[in-house]
Amino acid sequence: MRLEDVVEDVLALAASESRRSSPIRTEIPVALPDVSGDRVELQQVLLNLLVNGMDAMSPSGIRRLLVMSRPCDT
């Protein structure tokens, strides 16, 4: 499955929360290799990371959240 699709799904779920607390920016290359795994579990992990990131930010000052991905050289 395409990681970009998983991220887009999660961003749609988190859109209302991010409008209230922290804008979310993404840097995801178009040509990433497909990932394997359970789509729903990957979405849950990413959503938890986004929510935890938004919760951890100080309420004062500039609040931005960046979701970034890149291929891993193994």
Do the domain assignments include residue 73?
no
Q: How many domains does the chain have?
A: 1
What is the pLDDT, as a whole number, of residue 1? 92
12 close to 41: Cβ distance less than 8 angstroms: no
How far apart, in Å, are the Cα atoms of 37 and each of 3, 10, 59, 69?
10, 16, 35, 16
Give the closest residue to 19 by CA, choosing from 60, 56, 63.
63
What is the pLDDT, as a whole number, of residue 60? 73
CATH number for the domain harbouring residue 41: 3.30.565.10
Residue 63 has phi, psi (to 5 degrees) of -120, 120
- How far from the centroid of its chain's Cα atoms is residue 61's Cα? 21
What is the pLDDT, as a whole number, of residue 19? 67
What is the pLDDT, as a whole number, of residue 45? 95
Q: What is the mean pLDDT of each run of 10 residues along the chain (74 residues)?
A: 92 79 84 91 94 81 85 76
